[in-house]
Amino acid sequence: MTPSLAAKLRSGATVITGWNIWPEPLLAEIAARSGFDAVTMDMQHGLHDPVSVMRAIGACHLGGKPAAVRVPVGDNGMVSRALDMGAEAVIAPMVNSAAEAEAFVQAAKYPPAGERSWGPLRGQTVFGLDTDAHLKMANKDTLALAMVETKRGIEALDEILAVKGLDGIFVGPSDLSVTITGGDRVAPGDPLVDEPVRIIARKTKAAGKLLGAFTWAASRAQFFADLGYQFIALGTDQAYFQAGIQKMLSDRGEEKPVT
Ligand code: 3PY
Ligand code: MG
């Protein structure tokens, strides 16, 4: 197994992940081969189902990059399944309390840290590890990241960070802006989210946990990276497709084939 996503992040590296919302493994593989350090399959707002996630994880490995999965809200069954399929990180959206974070960790970690049931039938093949090695690797080398993206989540942050086995916090700036404005605006890049983003960074680092966030622009990714966010999602495959079309329509360069 190549150095895990967890090992890279713990060594201090910044990891930029593509965000795959279209349930098509080929797109995940192309994202993996096109410069991203990892690819995340989104089952919350993205269109993935368990089968497409399973196929996309294999496609990411074919492209030489680790795969992460964002599960639907509160779907801890899918947390275990995504890990069983070979995901190196699972992201749980809308975690608003220590109890929710605790239930998430229970599904993501084998005993003694949690209560994950044994059966990584696909993951073992993806990682190429025997049973003992897989069991030893799993709790340390797969990450459970809880999204803090609401006022309630921020209020509960200290208790969420105290949950043993939780590896990190992943920030959703769109939901942060919606909750902060009381449902008035979706404004992920607005300065109004900067203060909570800074508070989350300070507290999470003090707790010795990892930081991740979603962004729509490389400049915003740099803002997060400067604050210590290391696992940074940039755009979605829908946005990559739209940006590619716009670039091709306006490109005045020489003709060359693209494969
Ligand atoms: C948010 O910005 O709220 C997210 O969940 C990113 O996908
Ligand atoms: Mg969100």
Q: What is the per-residue pLDDT across 87-130, written as a single tens digit (0 to 9) for each?
A: 999 999 999 999 999 999 999 999 999 999 999 999 999 999 99
pLDDT band at 254; cut points 50, 70, 90: confident
| Distant-in-sequence, close-in-space partners of 9: CB < 8 Å, separation ≥ 6 | 15, 143, 168, 210, 230, 231
Could you tell me the sign of the dihedral formed by the alpha carbons of 83, 8, 95, 138, in that order?
positive
Position 253 scores a pLDDT of: 82
DSSP designation for 44: S
Burial of 60-70, coded b for 16+ CB within 10 Å and e otherwise, reads bbebebbbbbb
First and final C-alpha spacing in the chain: 28
What number of other Cβ atoms are within 10 A of residue 74's Cβ? 15
| Tokens standing for residue 223 | 């803002």
**Per CATH, the architecture of 5-145+211-251 is what?**
Alpha-Beta Barrel (3.20)
Which ligand 1 atom sits nearest the alpha carbon of residue 174? 2
How confident is the prediction for the chain on average, in pLDDT?
96
pLDDT band at 259; cut points 50, 70, 90: confident
- At 208, give phi and psi (nearest 5°): 75, 25
Residues acting as catalytic residues: 45
- The label of the residue with tokens 């091709």 reads 248
CA of 171 to the centre of ligand 1 (A): 7
Position 258 scores a pLDDT of: 75
Summarize the confidence of residues 52-67 as an average pLDDT.
97
pLDDT band at 256; cut points 50, 70, 90: confident
β-strands 38-42, 15-20: how paired?
parallel
pLDDT band at 223; cut points 50, 70, 90: very high
- How far, CA to CA in Å, does 230 sit from each of 14, 96, 227? 4, 22, 9
143-192 pLDDT, tens digit per residue, is 999 999 999 999 999 999 999 999 999 999 999 999 999 999 999 999 99
CA of 47 to the centre of ligand 2 (A): 15
The residues spanned by each domain of the chain are 5-145+211-251
Per-residue pLDDT for 28 more than 70? yes
Closest-CA residue to 205 (of 227, 221, 223, 175): 227
Lowest mean pLDDT among 119-123, 222-226, 252-256: 252-256
CA of 199 to the centre of ligand 2 (A): 18
Position 201 scores a pLDDT of: 98
Please answer whether residues 105 and 96 qualify as being in contact, where contact means their C-beta atoms are separated by less than 8 angstroms.
no
- Extract the runs of DSSP E, i.e. beta strands, from the chain: 15-20, 38-42, 67-70, 89-92, 143-148, 168-171, 210-215, 231-234
| Tokens standing for residue 200 | 């989350």
Per-residue pLDDT for 2 more than 70? no
Tell me the residues surrounding ligand 2 (ion) with CB < 5 Å: 149, 172, 175
173 in contact with ligand 1, CB cutoff 6 A: yes
pLDDT band at 3; cut points 50, 70, 90: low
188 in contact with ligand 1, CB cutoff 6 A: yes
Position 157 scores a pLDDT of: 98
Please answer whether residues 105 and 164 qualify as being in contact, where contact means their C-beta atoms are separated by less than 8 angstroms.
yes
Closest-CA residue to 161 (of 208, 114, 194, 199): 208
Task: Please state whether the predicted TM-score (pTM) of the whole model is above 0.95.
Answer: yes
167 in contact with ligand 1, CB cutoff 6 A: no
| Tokens standing for residue 186 | 């979706």
